[in-house]
């Protein structure tokens, strides 16, 4: 029996988020998630999908001849075979990132992978799932993200930024407005007013293509 993963979609688009925003990227979206963030824009990946071998996924990625590959979901780390997939993507020479909820242990992820750790805010309704041990594992190759729903979430994110010195642990600290919950310009104004060492992140793909799956 070959190693398999349940996959919702593989597509080529512009990275809409993180430090590689705007760069052509292949996305591998794994099916299933143990969380239920109230704002989740990828709920179509909670179920369904297709069981595929790692080899078939790697072949489809290679057909796009990408430089960047992003493994997302759903929650990619909920499937144990995400770990060998990430390693094999690195071995194939791609610049690999993973988007993860921070609710699962990231220690087995290949250190060549940029781990984009989303610390879940109270407004997500899943902040009780945060595994704070993950923060001690972060390096300059990793990124921490807060998806912010309100001024209360912003104040909470600032308190975590200070408590853990996140800008010294990770290469990027990203503050992203929760789409439909918070105006990006409000978040921008707060970041400037507080002179924070963080990067405002917009979800570029939503401005380009609204909220279509597979873009």
**Residues interacting with ligand 2KA, by CB under 6 A?**
13-17, 27, 42, 72, 99, 205, 215
Residue 32 near residue 45 (C-beta atoms within 8 A): yes
Binding mask 38-77 for ligand SF4 (x = CB under 6 A): --x-x------------------------------xxx--
Q: CA-to-CA distance for 4 and 39, rounded, in angstroms?
A: 29
CB 19, min distance to Mg ion, A? 17
102 binds ligand SF4 (CB under 6 A): no
CB 124, min distance to ligand SF4, A? 7
> Which residue's entry shows tokens 């609204």?
210
CB 24, min distance to ligand SF4, A? 23
The torsion angles phi and psi of 200, rounded to 5 degrees, stand at -70, 130
Q: Nearest CA to 54 among 22, 24, 86, 32? A: 86
Q: CA-to-CA distance for 25 and 29, rounded, in angstroms?
A: 12
Binding mask 160-179 for ligand SAM (x = CB under 6 A): ----------------x-xx
DSSP category for residue 17: S
Nearer to ligand 2KA, 99 or 142 (CB): 99
Bond from prior residue into 74 cis (ω within 30 degrees of 0): yes
Nearer to ligand SF4, 97 or 101 (CB): 101
> Which residue's entry shows tokens 């969380």?
35
Q: CA-to-CA distance for 83 and 9, rounded, in angstroms?
A: 18
Nearer to ligand SAM, 112 or 206 (CB): 206
Ranges within 61-100 binding ligand SAM (CB under 6 A): 72-73, 75, 99-100
What is the 3 state secondary structure string of 48-110? CCEEEEHHHHHHHHHHCCCCEEEEECCCHHHCCCHHHHHHHHHHCCCEEEEEECCCCCCCCCC
CB 69, min distance to ligand SAM, A? 14
Which of the choices ligand SF4, ligand 2KA, Mg ion, none does residue 33 contact, using the CB cut-off of 5 to 8 A by kind?
ligand SF4
- Binding site residues, ligand SF4, CB under 6 A: 33, 35-37, 40, 42, 73-75, 101
- Binding site residues, ligand SAM, CB under 6 A: 33, 39-42, 72-73, 75, 99-101, 118, 145, 147, 176, 178-179, 203
Residue list, annotated binding site for S-adenosyl-L-methionine = 39-41, 74
């Amino acid at each position: 029996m070959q190693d398999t993963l349940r996959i919702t979609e593989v597509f080529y688009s512009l990275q809409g988020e993180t430090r590689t925003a705007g760069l052509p990227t292949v996305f591998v979206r794994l099916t299933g998630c143990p969380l239920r963030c109230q704002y989740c824009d990828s709920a179509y990946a909670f179920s369904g999908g297709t069981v595929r071998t790692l080899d078939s996924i790697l072949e489809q990625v290679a057909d796009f001849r990408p430089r960047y590959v992003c493994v997302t979901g759903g929650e990619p780390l909920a499937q144990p075979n995400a770990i060998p997939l990430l390693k094999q993507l690195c071995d194939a020479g791609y610049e690999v990132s993973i988007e993860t909820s921070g609710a699962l242990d990231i220690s087995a992820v290949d250190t060549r992978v940029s781990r984009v750790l989303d610390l879940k805010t109270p407004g997500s309704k899943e902040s009780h799932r945060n595994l704070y041990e993950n923060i001690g594992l972060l390096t300059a190759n990793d990124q921490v993200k807060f998806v912010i729903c309100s001024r209360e979430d912003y104040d909470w994110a600032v308190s975590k930024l200070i408590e853990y010195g996140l800008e010294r642990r990770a290469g990027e600290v990203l503050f992203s407005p929760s789409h439909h919950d918070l105006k990006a310009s409000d978040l921008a104004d707060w970041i400037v007013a507080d002179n924070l060492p963080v990067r405002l992140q917009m979800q570029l793909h939503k401005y380009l293509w609204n909220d279509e799956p597979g873009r």
